[in-house]
Structures are given as C-alpha cells and as structure tokens.
Amino acid sequence: MSVEFNTDFFERLRSVNKAAFLNRCIGQVGVIAVNFSKERFVQKNWIDRNRVAWKERKRPARGSILVRTGRLKRSIRKISQGNYYVYVGTDDPKAQIHNEGGQINKTVNVRAHTRRMSPQRTRDSRGRYQQSRSGGTMNIRAHTRRMNINMPKRQFLGESAILNRRIERFLSRELDNEISRNGN
C-alpha cells in the first residue's frame, strides 16, 4: 500500500511564519485552559478520560461547592507564557488543598466575639408552636480549637485528555486558516 501526500499542502505549510503563528496561538491556548478550569466550578466535576463528580457538601444548603465569595474561581489565570508554553494556575493559598484533597490538622485561635441567637420554638401538648426562647446575643470567649478535617479532592486544575483535545482542535483550525491565508 502506498500513500501519496499532497505536496501543495507541505509547500503552503513551509510558507507559514511559525514564530508569529505560535506567539498568536499560545495566548489563545491559555484562554482555552483557563475557561476549561472555570467550567469545572459550573459542572462540579473533573474530566480527564472520564467524568469524576465532585463530592457533595455535608451541608448542601450552604451554597455551591467551592464558591462562597468566588475568589478561588476568579483567581485562575495565565501565570506565564513563552514561545512554546503557557502556565495556568492560581495564587489562592487554599487552591492546592481543594484541588488535590488532603488532611488538615492544626490548632486555631478563635477570638472573642458576639453571636446572635435565633428564637427557638417548641410544640405544646396540642401540637401548636409556642415561643420558648427569644432571640438575642451570646458572648463567646476567646479559645483554641483543634481542627482535624479530611478535605475531599475536587480537582479544577491539571492535565486532562479533553482539554488536550480542545487545544489540538483549536491549533488545527488555526493552522488551516493560516495556510489558507498564505496560500491565496
């Protein structure tokens, strides 16, 4: 079996200014990678060769997973870029433990503060609600608390086959466009 190549394609490929093409495309590849990482917060999963859903919160009423203020999601950006590479990451100190999972064992100091108390209701003998304690405030003294937390892995940055495929498709499209521009 013999395979014949289109020599016209290779001639047009040689006419492409590779340095200018790569400099233009590397920035766009970084944007694709940043958007892929931010999609993980919306879809609440990691995709490599298959989907791995993030573990649910213990208290689901507390809001979306890993998004309370949005700082972690907003901090994902292009860290640096060169002729043939782009680094995507974050400077958030909590990002690594969330991305990789792990154990947190430490002692923290809790400052003295005032806690608001909500009113509590109880049922009487007939099943009707009645007010048992009115709301108010409670003074909490300063103390130390031992933290022993097992943080589940909820990956949003890293190597992904799907991300690589998106980048390859983008580069293929851009190379086709560049060849067609230089060929005409």
pLDDT of res. 4: 46
- Beta strand pairing call for 129-133 and 120-123: antiparallel
Alpha helices in the chain (DSSP H): 7-14, 18-43, 71-74, 95-100, 161-183
pTM here?
A: 0.73
pLDDT of res. 13: 62
pLDDT of res. 75: 93
Q: To which residue do tokens 């947190």 refer?
A: 104
Rg of the chain (C-alpha set): 27
pLDDT-flagged residues of the chain (< 70)? 1-14, 61-63, 130-135, 183-184
Tally of CA atoms within 13 A in the half-sphere of 90 that contains its CB: 23
pLDDT in tens, 76-102: 999 998 878 899 999 999 899 999 999
- Beta strand pairing call for 143-151 and 102-110: antiparallel
Distance between first and last Cα of the chain:
33
- Cβ–Cβ under 8 Å, residues 36 and 78: no
Distance CA 65, CA 62 (A): 9
- Cβ–Cβ under 8 Å, residues 86 and 70: no
Distance CA 95, CA 118 (A): 34
